[in-house]
Amino acid sequence: MDGGKKLIELKKVSKAFGDRSVLDQIDLEVFAGETLVIIGRSGVGKSTILKHVAGLLFPDDGEVWVEGQEVERLSETQLNELRKKMGVVFQYAALFDSLTVFENVAFRLLRDFHMPLDQAVRKVEEKLDLVGLKEVPLDLKPAQLSGGMRKRVGLARAIAHEPEIILYDEPTSGLDPVSSEAINDLILDMQKKLGVTSVVVTHDMHSAYKVANRIAMIYDGKMIGSGTPEEIKDSRDPFIRQFVTGSVEGPMPIR
Ligand SMILES: Nc1ncnc2c1ncn2[C@@H]1O[C@H](COP(=O)(O)OP(=O)(O)OP(=O)(O)O)[C@@H](O)[C@H]1O
Ligand SMILES: [Mg+2]
């Protein structure tokens, strides 16, 4: 996929929260049609990267480009247009507690795409089926669902409007192995059947190896390495090795 069209690009993006620097001149690119998986320890800034791509946060320094546009320079209307082409699966489901399953999944279909209700019902049922929630009553509230079910409702909501770009933040965390595998298959299907471009943040190396065209590792606010799943598996970088093998032998390598 290298050499294809760059759909997402972070150019030397820096971001601090207060005096805590989180992203330090990070460069990242995602080509059209590929699935890039971002790995890295808790707190290194993975979710922060996704929020920059989604236009929910803006860099202190550097630039974020999506589909040939610099996100920070877009007007509110243009940003909304760009967001219509994106689906975001938030790390903690982030469902609207007062809305039903149907209203959550259909939210953008109704608000942003003005879809007629009967059509929205069909879409919602189709997407819930895709995430393995065919049987779930549409009128339940999030509080009546298990954590894993909420997660999958969040996924259904992110893909409901059939976006070109999907950002998945820990899509399989907290799911049982069978549901996780179904989500991995869903991510692969979205890419193969619909040509979606995806960025997946995960701690789950099985999932990373399965869905990634490329894997990028973030450490200390920087991208310290990227490669195909095979290259990452065989990496000699001690940080990457330690992360992907989960090894706790010996001291943490000094960088
Ligand atoms: N809105 C915010 N205000 C202040 N600090 C923030 C904010 N968002 C993130 N941070 C801080 O930035 C750092 C990176 O957070 P981020 O959520 O991107 O990490 P992460 O790599 O996704 O971690 P995890 O694997 O645990 O989800 C953390 O130290 C976090 O406390
Ligand atoms: Mg996170």
pLDDT value of residue 249: 54
Ligand 2 mean position to 94 CA, how many Å?
Answer: 13
Least confident of 36-40, 48-52, 93-97, 204-208: 93-97
pLDDT value of residue 248: 56
Q: Which atom of ligand 1 is nearest to the CA of 203?
A: 25
The two tokens of residue 84 are: 């219509």
Backbone φ, ψ for residue 146 (5° rounding): -75, 165
Fold of 1-85+165-248: Rossmann fold (3.40.50)
Length of the chain: 255
The residue whose CB lies within 8 Å of the most ligand 1 atoms, and thus the one to mutate among 22, 88, 167, is 22
Residue of 53, 38, 46, 74 whose CA lies nearest to 8 = 53
Residue nearest to atom 24 of ligand 1 (CA): 42
Please give all residues whose beta carbon lies within 6 A of any atom in ligand 1, as ranges. 17, 22, 40, 42-48, 91
Buried b / exposed e over 122-155, threshold 16 CB at 10 Å, is: ebbbebbebbbbeebebeeebeebeebbbbbbbb
Q: Is the pLDDT of residue 251 over 70?
A: no
Q: How far apart are CA 255 and CA 252, in angstroms?
A: 9
Q: Is the pLDDT of residue 131 over 90?
A: no
pLDDT value of residue 169: 95
pLDDT tens digits, residue range 27-74? 999 999 999 999 999 999 999 999 999 999 999 999 999 999 999 999
Domain boundaries, the chain: 1-85+165-248, 95-162
pLDDT value of residue 176: 87
Per-residue pLDDT band for 3 (boundaries 50, 70, 90) equals low
Q: Which whole number is the average pLDDT over 142-165? A: 92
pLDDT value of residue 247: 67
The CATH code for residues 95-162 is 1.20.1580.10
Q: Is the pLDDT of residue 1 over 60?
A: no
Phi/psi-derived region of residue 37, left when phi > 0, alpha when psi is between -120 and 50, beta in every other case: beta
pTM of the model: 0.91
Per-residue pLDDT band for 200 (boundaries 50, 70, 90) equals very high
Higher pLDDT, 190 or 4: 190
The residue whose CB lies within 8 Å of the most ligand 1 atoms, and thus the one to mutate among 15, 42, 47, is 47
The residue whose CB lies within 8 Å of the most ligand 1 atoms, and thus the one to mutate among 14, 15, 17, is 17
Higher pLDDT, 254 or 71: 71
The two tokens of residue 64 are: 């974020």
How many C-alpha atoms does 74 have within 13 Å on its Cβ side? 22
Q: Is the pLDDT of residue 159 over 70?
A: yes
Percent of the chain scoring above 90 in pLDDT:
76
Q: Are the beta carbons of 8 and 65 closer than 8 angstroms?
A: yes
What average pLDDT is seen over the chain?
Answer: 91
Protein residues within 5 Å, CB atom, of ion ligand 2: 46-47, 91
**Range list of H helices, 131-225:** 147-159, 177-194, 205-211
**Range list of H helices, 10-146:** 46-53, 76-84, 101-111, 117-130
Ligand 1 mean position to 71 CA, how many Å?
Answer: 21
pLDDT tens digits, residue range 217-234? 999 889 999 999 999 999
Q: How far apart are CA 34 and CA 63, in angstroms?
A: 21
Per-residue pLDDT band for 7 (boundaries 50, 70, 90) equals very high
Residue nearest to atom 1 of ligand 1 (CA): 17
Ligand 1 mean position to 22 CA, how many Å?
Answer: 8
Q: Which atom of ligand 1 is nearest to the CA of 48?
A: 18
Q: How far apart are CA 105 and CA 125, in angstroms?
A: 9
pLDDT value of residue 132: 87
